[in-house]
Amino acid sequence: MVKFEASHHPLISYRPIRTSDLDVLEKIHGDLFPIRYETEFFQNVVNGRDIISWGAVDRNRPDGQTDELVGFLTARIVMARDSEIVDLLRYDPSKSDQTLVYILTLGVVESYRNFGIASSLIREVIQYAANFSTCRAVYLHVISYNNPAIHLYKKMSFQCVRRLHAFYYINGQHYDSYLFIYYVNGGRSPCSPLEVLALLISSAKSGLKLAASRLWKDENRKFSKLQKCKESSSDLLPTMQNMRIHDGSGGGGGGGGCQFV
């Protein structure tokens, strides 16, 4: 990880990510993120294959590495009609060319934080999206415990519109995600009270369905375990003992679905 003295005054400039950035880009992602990205992802970034990117470099870096990445933002253009947020847009089906910009990754090495680099990278992608008349929004997901990122996007006027239950699965554990949106080119005005109510009802129904499904699976799993226990014990235990095995019971659990926050 790059470290410099407090007296160092960076001179940050921004440029597209290039093929020569491959090794540094991989290393920074590995240092910053709990999710491991495939080699293909990095190849697509540095070669500009379906991914747009911005890199931050320090032209006043004391070790002479003045063109080495110290921050980055990667994003992808997606069709609005195929996106998960189509219900949150003023989408016009007659205009099939409407697009969105989805932020994939954003990061700044530790020594260069609090210099406004992340904010500048976000402004770059917003300006990029706003320059396309067909683009309706910039959006992204943030893992629920990443409070600095959540604070940053709120400060940059992104709207936190949904909480997605168990969106991430990292090292054997599920984590929720927040969905943030920044509307451009009239993508959508604030929801009316009736629209908010409709979306809340839809979200609640999704949550109830998910909870019921998990409860059913848990009960089936427990019944299967008890049945196997009965079958394996039937030759060894008396009848009354088998009945006691059936007396054991437990409740299933269910999680919530999408929530508005």
pLDDT of 2: 59
d(CA 163, CA 200): 12
Q: Could you read off the pLDDT of 39-89 as tens digits, one per residue? A: 999 999 999 999 999 999 999 999 999 999 999 999 999 999 999 999 999
d(CA 59, CA 10): 7
Reported as type and span, the H/E element at residue 168 is strand 159-170
Q: Could you read off the pLDDT of 202-240 as tens digits, one per residue? A: 656 666 666 556 656 555 555 454 454 334 333 332 222
- 53, β-bridge pairs: 74
Q: How confident is the model at residue 91 (pLDDT cuts 50, 70, 90)?
A: confident
Place of tokens 């747009």: 52
What torsion, rounded to 10 degrees, do the Cα atoms 252, 259, 134, 138 define? -100
Q: Are 136 and 184 in contact (CB under 8 A)?
A: yes
pLDDT of 8: 81
Q: For residue 115, give Cα distances in angstroms to 1, 110, 150.
A: 17, 11, 18
For the chain, what percentages of helix, strand and coil (3-state, to nearest 5) are there?
Answer: 40, 25, 35
d(CA 29, CA 55): 13
Q: What is the pTM of this model?
A: 0.71
Q: Are 55 and 71 in contact (CB under 8 A)?
A: yes
Place of tokens 């059936």: 246
CATH domain 12-190 topology: Aminopeptidase (3.40.630)
The pair of structure tokens assigned to 105 is 């990754």
Q: Could you read off the pLDDT of 30-50 as tens digits, one per residue? A: 999 988 999 999 999 999 999
Q: Where are the domains of the chain?
A: 12-190, 191-254
Q: Could you read off the pLDDT of 135-157 as tens digits, one per residue? A: 999 999 999 999 999 999 999 99
Q: Across residues 162-176, what is the average pLDDT?
A: 95
Q: How confident is the model at residue 101 (pLDDT cuts 50, 70, 90)?
A: very high
d(CA 172, CA 143): 15
pLDDT of 86: 93
Q: Where are the alpha helices (DSSP H) in 169-260?
A: 193-233, 239-247
